[in-house]
Amino acid sequence: MLGSFKDLLPIIVVIGFFQVFVLKQPLPDWLSIMVGLVLVVLGLTFFIFGLEMGLFPIGETLAHALARKGSVFWLMVFAFLLGFGTTIAEPALTAVSGVAADVAARGGMISNTVDVKENYAMGLRITVALSVGFAIMLGVFRILKGWPIHILIISGYILVVIITLFAPEAIIGIAYDSGGVTTSTITVPLVTALGVGLSTVIKGRNPMIDGFGLIAFASLLPMIFVMIYGMVVA
């Protein structure tokens, strides 16, 4: 809990400084704010314990077992389903897709009805989840082959720039944000554990060089997929 509080301390100092010295206003409802800070510290503490005790060991264990089994097919299936499942469950993606649907309805891009907005938001979520599934597959295949990550990432961002020239302006911002919301509390621990676990088991792979980078693919491909989704919807 002390470590979590130290992590939050810079945020508390910045907000307190602007509230007291710049805005020169007392904190509104300071008691509820203090209770909220305590809850945040407790939540971060238990979340970190949960990662260390549950998610990281699960990801590494599955990676080790699949690598020893020697089946590339099942490894790829697992990578895709892991990326898809963790992304579709991301609270951040759910929130962003819901806001995007509301804004699209107010802007006249889609009908302002509950069913249409829900379908738009769900379509966005599924598109992003599919993209992350393919991204994790690509990252795992890179680990198996030992390809340099910078070539793939640079090529991917060049493709992002090219698609941006043809995508509707209304979807570009959402697409770029989709790359960030996919790498949140659920996806990052499991995907990182998968990459590190695979590179540890596979002969000739260095966990520091080959084990990391899956999150970069998970941030890159959603931008491409969502812009294509916007082109199709438009």
Identify the pLDDT of residue 161.
Answer: 94
Identify the pLDDT of residue 234.
Answer: 67
- Comparing 138 with 51, which gets the higher pLDDT? 138
Cα separations in angstroms, 29 against 25, 46, 102: 12, 26, 30
Rounded CA separation 47/53 (Å): 10
Rounded CA separation 212/229 (Å): 28
Torsion of CA 164, 169, 170, 172, to 10 degrees: 20
Beta strands of 75-170 (E only): which ranges?
A: none
Residue 155, Cα to own-chain centre: how many angstroms? 20
- Residue 186's CB is within 10 A of a number of other CB atoms, namely 19
Residue 151 pLDDT grade (very low, low, confident, very high; cuts 50, 70, 90): very high
Rounded CA separation 215/100 (Å): 23
Q: Which residue has the tokens 């340099």?
A: 148
- C-beta separation of 75 from 140 below 8 A: yes
Identify the pLDDT of residue 94.
Answer: 84
Rounded CA separation 159/227 (Å): 11
- Comparing 204 with 119, which gets the higher pLDDT? 119
- Mind listing the pLDDT tens digit for each residue in 91-112? 778 888 888 888 888 877 778 8
Q: Which residue has the tokens 């710049």?
A: 22
Q: What is the CA radius of gyration of the chain?
A: 21
pLDDT at 164 over 90: yes
The structure tokens listed for 51 are: 């990662």
Residue 175, Cα to own-chain centre: how many angstroms? 13
- Mind listing the pLDDT tens digit for each residue in 27-80? 777 788 888 888 888 888 887 787 777 767 776 777 777 777 767 888 888 889
Average the pLDDT over 160-165 and give the result. 94
For the four alpha carbons of 187, 189, 194 and 195, in that order, the dihedral sign comes to positive
Identify the pLDDT of residue 30.
Answer: 77
Identify the pLDDT of residue 137.
Answer: 92
The whole-chain average pLDDT of the chain stands at 84
What are the backbone angles phi and psi of residue 159, rounded to the nearest 5°?
A: -65, -40
- Mind listing the pLDDT tens digit for each residue in 165-199? 999 888 888 889 887 777 766 777 778 888 888 88
110: left (phi over 0), alpha (psi -120 to 50) or beta: beta
Q: What percent of the chain has pLDDT over 70?
A: 96
**What residue ranges do the domains of the chain occupy?**
70-233
SS3 120: helix
Rounded CA separation 186/203 (Å): 29
